[in-house]
Amino acid sequence: MFWNSLVSEWMKVRKSSLWFLIPVGPLLGLLLGWLNVHTGETHPDAQGQAEVHDWLWMYPQMLGTYAVLFLPLVAGVYASLLCRFEHLNGGWKQLLALPVSRSTLYLTKLVYLLGMLALTQFLWLAGVLIFGLCLQVEGSIPWTELGKSGFSGWLTLVPLAALQLWVATVWKNFGLPFALNVILAIPGMLLLNAEKYRVYYLWSQPYLGMSPTHGGILNLAPISFWLVLGGSLVLVAAGWTHFVKRDVQH
């Protein structure tokens, strides 16, 4: 049954404009990252002009805007778009009157949301690689660090995505979830330099998880890691149960 539901959803997703949106986050992130590398602080060894040295110097410089802002935002946009198929023309009442469990339908949406976020991360890393190769960055490519950064960023997005999916199934309006998303992302930005507090805020985690460090679990402090796992469980469960129990009016 779950497989049928995934295939059914695929037929809707395949022909949608979602695909054009997926590269937008990584591309904007790369653009701002590139600006940052060129105008930002210079390498400690460099004299005068900014110089690009090795990968692990360049990568954190590029990461900021993408991980703090774009990633959480695209999670919300994807969630809204996935639910828009049904919100637009009375799809929920048709879908939920079919002999399919509501859990199956909710988890299908979640799988697609997380899948699209994984694809986004993949595009981001591919973009970083191309960018680095074009700039002829010194040294060998740090595959492990980049892979860990991509995966950890994805994992830290799970609780955010779960909340966004919950909101997107309830709110027909496209702007409301987006506004909520922005409002929740801003403290994440402000907390970036507050090392004491940022480990406790869910919206700061994608940046922390994606920044290559040598400690922690997947770049995360243990408290952050457990916060992400716990937050994922709670928010997935909340959105799921609400979806299963709610009245379908539209």
Partner 1 sequence: MSEMVIQTQQLTRRYGRQVSVADVNLQVPQGSIYGFLGPNGAGKTTTIRMLLGLIRPTSGRVRLFNQDLEKNRISVLRRVGSLVESPSYYGHLTGTENLKVIARLLGVCDQHVAEVLDLVRLTQAANKQVKGYSLGMKQRLGIAAALLGSPDLLILDEPTNGLDPAGIQEIRELILEMPKQHGITVLVSSHLLSEIEQMATQVGIINEGKMIFQGPMDDLRRQSRPQLVLETERPQDVRNFLQDQGWSVTLEDGLLSLPNADFETSAGVNRELVMAGFSVYRMREVKPSLEDIFLDLVGKGVSL
Q: Does 134 bind partner 1 (CB under 8 A)?
A: no
Contact at 8 Å (CB) between 64 and 207? yes
Which residue lies nearer to partner 1 by CB, 71 or 105? 105
Q: Does 88 bind partner 1 (CB under 8 A)?
A: yes
Tokens for 21, please give them: 């949106």
Which residue lies nearer to partner 1 by CB, 49 or 89? 89
Distance CA 72, CA 249 (A): 29
Instruction: Select from 35, 56, 98, 179 the one that contacts partner 1 (CB under 8 A).
Output: 98
Tokens for 244, please give them: 């299963």
Q: Does 12 bind partner 1 (CB under 8 A)?
A: yes
- DSSP-assigned beta bridge partners for residue 220: 217
Shortest Cβ distance from residue 108 to partner 1 (Å)? 10
Torsion of CA 183, 151, 115, 132, to 10 degrees: 90
Distance CA 155, CA 118 (A): 9
Q: Does 103 bind partner 1 (CB under 8 A)?
A: no
Instruction: Select from 42, 94, 103, 173 the one that contacts partner 1 (CB under 8 A).
Output: 94
Tokens for 169, please give them: 């199934």
Q: Does 38 bind partner 1 (CB under 8 A)?
A: no
Contact at 8 Å (CB) between 9 and 112? yes
Shortest Cβ distance from residue 21 to partner 1 (Å)? 14
Instruction: Select from 27, 32, 60, 101 the one that contacts partner 1 (CB under 8 A).
Output: 101
Q: Which stretch binds partner 1 (CB under 8 A): 92-100, 111-119, 141-149, 236-244?
A: 92-100
Nearest to 120 by CA among 29, 20, 23: 23
Tokens for 236, please give them: 């997935």
Q: Does 249 bind partner 1 (CB under 8 A)?
A: yes
Binding site for partner 1 (CB under 8 A): 4-5, 7-8, 11-12, 15-17, 85, 88-101, 245, 247-249
